[in-house]
């Protein structure tokens, strides 16, 4: 069973997300164990303070080292990998989700305020960004990571489902492809008809059609993936 520990100042933000759908079932079926830790509880400041003004001046408050270092030290084992969520981290990709899904214990640090003391980066095995924009904290990115990783853990969903996901690897061409278009009943709706190839029962032709549609869609929507 994989364990994920999330260090945050806002533990209540995770209540709804982790008590619904696939993640809820994964927890109930003991495929994953998620613990939410308020790292303010590790602060040695008499008022529970976890931030301070930056050296050199500037706007905002910066998360201090002591609470986060102590929180990580208290829960880290030889099997742990520490993830620091930061806009300056490596862009998160599906291949990273596969890599992380093989770990035994992930510790995810959610930043907040104007940032964190740079020395906190020394704790991290991975520094990850979910996109080129700035959020108010690392909580939502943490939810993104947990969701994308959980579904890849064996037994959580049907394996074929994530094999056929968007961003699956096209091994022959060394690229990543978006998912092919899918359809369901009725065959005709508002004058729009399901492609004939999908209803003729020829699985070889269906597979080729879907592959070509994936390439076409990727070229149109995300040509950068084809590079």
Is 114 noted as a catalytic residue in this protein?
Answer: yes
Each residue of 2-33: pLDDT tens digit? 999 999 999 999 988 998 889 999 999 999 99
Contact 32, 1 (CB under 8 A): yes
End-to-end Cα spacing for the chain? 37
Is 151 noted as a catalytic residue in this protein?
Answer: yes
pLDDT over 90 at 115, yes or no = no
- Which whole-number Å values give the CA distances from 206 to 24, 89, 193, 195, 199, in the listed order? 34, 40, 16, 10, 9
Task: Check 11, 54, 87, 181 and give the catalytic one.
Answer: 87
Task: Check 70, 96, 103, 114 and give the catalytic one.
Answer: 114
Distance CA 197, CA 194 (A): 9
- Please state which architecture CATH assigns to domain 2-150: 3-Layer(aba) Sandwich (3.40)
Each residue of 71-107: pLDDT tens digit? 999 999 999 999 999 988 999 999 999 999 999 999 9
Task: Check 165, 170, 210, 222 and give the catalytic one.
Answer: 165
Percentage with pLDDT > 70 across the chain: 91
Stretch among 46-55, 173-182, 214-223 having the lowest mean pLDDT: 173-182
Each residue of 142-159: pLDDT tens digit? 999 999 999 999 999 766
Task: Check 11, 25, 96, 151 and give the catalytic one.
Answer: 151
pLDDT over 90 at 221, yes or no = no
Which are the contacts of 40, defined by CB distance < 8 A and separation ≥ 6?
9, 48, 50, 67
Percentage with pLDDT > 90 across the chain: 68
Question: pTM of the full predicted structure?
Answer: 0.83
Each residue of 34-59: pLDDT tens digit? 999 999 999 999 999 999 999 888 87
Top-confidence residue, 138 or 174: 138
The pLDDT of residue 171 = 43
Domain boundaries, the chain: 2-150, 164-226
- Torsion over CA: 102, 108, 114, 118 (sign): negative
Which fold, 164-226? 1.10.1270
């Amino acid at each position: 069973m994989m364990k994920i520990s999330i260090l945050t100042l806002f533990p209540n933000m995770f209540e709804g997300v982790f008590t619904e759908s696939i993640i809820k079932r994964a927890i109930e079926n003991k495929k994953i164990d998620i613990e939410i830790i308020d790292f303010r509880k590790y602060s040695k400041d008499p008022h529970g303070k976890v931030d301070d003004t930056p050296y050199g001046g500037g706007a905002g408050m910066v998360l201090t080292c002591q609470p986060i270092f102590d929180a990580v030290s208290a829960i880290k084992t030889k099997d742990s990998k520490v993830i620091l969520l930061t806009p300056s981290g490596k862009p998160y990709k599906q291949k990273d989700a596969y890599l992380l899904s093989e770990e035994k214990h992930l510790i995810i640090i959610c930043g907040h305020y104007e940032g964190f003391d740079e020395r906190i980066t020394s704790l991290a095995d991975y520094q990850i960004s979910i996109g080129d924009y700035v959020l108010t904290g690392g909580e939502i990115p943490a939810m993104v990571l947990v969701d994308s990783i959980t579904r890849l853990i064996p037994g959580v969903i049907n394996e074929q489902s994530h094999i056929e996901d968007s961003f699956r690897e096209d091994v022959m061409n060394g690229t990543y492809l978006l998912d092919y278009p899918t359809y369901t009943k009725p065959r005709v709706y508002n004058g729009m008809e399901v492609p004939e190839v999908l209803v003729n029962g020829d699985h070889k032709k269906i597979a080729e059609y879907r592959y070509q549609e994936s390439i076409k869609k990727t070229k149109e929507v995300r040509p950068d993936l084809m590079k």
